[in-house]
Chains A and B, each alone.
Chain A
């Protein structure tokens, strides 16, 4: 961490492997406890994150950003670098303290829940990087995805393997040894193991080839057809908006355009400013 005030004057560039282990360190405060869940207003969309303001430290990154997703919809957030796309995602998932705004899921106001409890409430999250357990096998990765489930999850695992046959063949292999695209599939599979009602993907196609990207988008459409809502942040805006039921264009932490994916693709201003012509 770059903050120089952590304990006796920062770590002073220390890289002594015999006393500290920096691999796999977390960034989320796991000790925070959840607050109460209250019923939200009737007739809200399935996911409704409204008027979110907040950021890391003093400066706000989100300035009144609103994201809603209906059941079974694919929602895509696009926008320029530094627009707060991933931050909005993290805020919805409770990894960021909001100064203002609320998050509702399935009619419940879950603004006070910590990330662990949001998973239990029905959210699944696939981070952009470090999204598998590298030293564990594919099968163990999926088992960890199902950690909170007390029931028999073998059928869910079979569904995931059916969805991603390539990783099914490598179920005994360590996830860290897989290719980038396969690792991404394991990551999505892991998140699906909780049977989430809302699956959130942070730039799932970052760093994979176009062929792998197309295949991954096909799988995401398949997942949405089973009734799971999808919220995803994408750099490959054009391709993502093609499969989006609803698209959000964020600029400086606020909504600039909100429309169906097709409409945004057709909007000449959006095309010119955000999609490169």
Chain B
């Protein structure tokens, strides 16, 4: 029985939260890796794209709430999400038209695009602050739990409870569906293959009649959609705070690099590697140790690192992967 309790506790405190967080990171890292593969630079504005997209989704959510719209147990943000993606994609395409396109035309070094992206980061950061401020905002208005601790205990008779929040479940479903759709798109459709071709060899893609500007636009739209989804799901799961979206840039970059920059499969794998390590390293294992080793009451919490150091986990994994497997888990730089 103790082993069952330990398993439930691991599931409840490690596996479920890490899976949800990993999905959010994976969606973010997919966007970063697509832009890296096709536009050939790391987009420092990605975190703030997530932030501004989420801010727009929140504003739309408020608007829909004021209109009295309801989705029953589901959060209204899900209804606002497609509109938010469309608006944010429009904004991002505008930055491409006004900022990045010039540098593609003069064939500037990609490092210039990195610097331009920090300019866009400042812009988006300021706009987010203007739109919605810097305070913490909760906008999850749906039902709280799909499975609550009491229900679970009543069903199973275990002392340890398990809760699955609706937001976590939605995260897993939405992330799973979007990954499936993205991989299908990249591997099966003409436009998706054109994106991979462009990433492999820009000139040859052009010589095959692929319109580079169309590929670039498509990349921005997909990356933005993934970013806004990641941001909204993260906000539903935890809460919205503009600064957190800047900080999440590090685990997202780490996930993309750990997986192998430019490799979508790698981005997803990297997201989960980072999320599971972060949660596992910062979780106090005392309770589970108590179940597994009867009669042992360890003095400390058995927590490897306090939660404040979760960024250190991304960093250490990144360093280890780079030291032992420099191209990432999935040999990056090409799709």
Contacts and interface: CB of A to CB of B under 8 A. Distances in A.
Asked if A and B bind, the verdict is yes
Given A22-B110, A134-B334, A27 B115 contact: no
Contacts of B110: 11, 19-22, 25
Chain A at the B interface: SS class: loop
B41 A116 contact: no
Contacts of A145: 208
B200 A134 contact: yes
Interface stretch (B81-89, B97-105, B122-130): B97-105
A144 to B, nearest CB: 5
B210 A22 contact: no
B202 A26 contact: yes
A23 to B, nearest CB: 5
A18 B253 contact: yes
A134 B335 CA distance: 10
Contact of B109 (A7, A130, A135): A7
Interface residues of B, number: 46
Nearest to B101: A31
Nearest to A190: B208
Given A7-B111, A30-B212, A24 B253 contact: no
A140 B111 CA distance: 31
Interface size class of A (residues with CB under 8 A): 35 or more
A235 interface: no
A28 B203 contact: yes
B303 interface: no
Nearest to A117: B209
Interface stretch (A43-51, A73-81, A119-127, A239-247): A119-127
A211 interface: no
B168 interface: no
B32 to A, nearest CB: 11
A188 interface: no
A113 to B, nearest CB: 12
Contact of B108 (A6, A132, A136): A6
Contact of B112 (A6, A116, A136): A6
Contacts of B261: 17-18, 21
B208 A26 contact: no
Nearest to B202: A26
Contact of A136 (B193, B206, B253): B193
Which of A29, A127, A136, A144 has the most chain B CB atoms closer than 10 A to its own CB?
A144
Contact of B200 (A12, A24, A125): A24
Contacts of A194: 208-209
Contact of B211 (A7, A17, A116): A116
Contacts of B203: 26-28, 127, 130
Contacts of A23: 333-334
22 contacts: A8-B112, A14-B111, A19-B42, A19-B111, A20-B40, A20-B41, A20-B42, A20-B113, A21-B37, A21-B40, A21-B110, A21-B333, A28-B203, A116-B209, A127-B203, A127-B204, A134-B334, A135-B200, A143-B193, A144-B193, A144-B194, A147-B208
Given A6-B109, A28-B206, A133-B196, 5 more contacts: A18-B253, A21-B40, A26-B206, A144-B194, A144-B210
List the 4 closest pairs (A to B, CB-CB), nearest first.
Answer: A26-B202, A7-B112, A30-B212, A148-B209
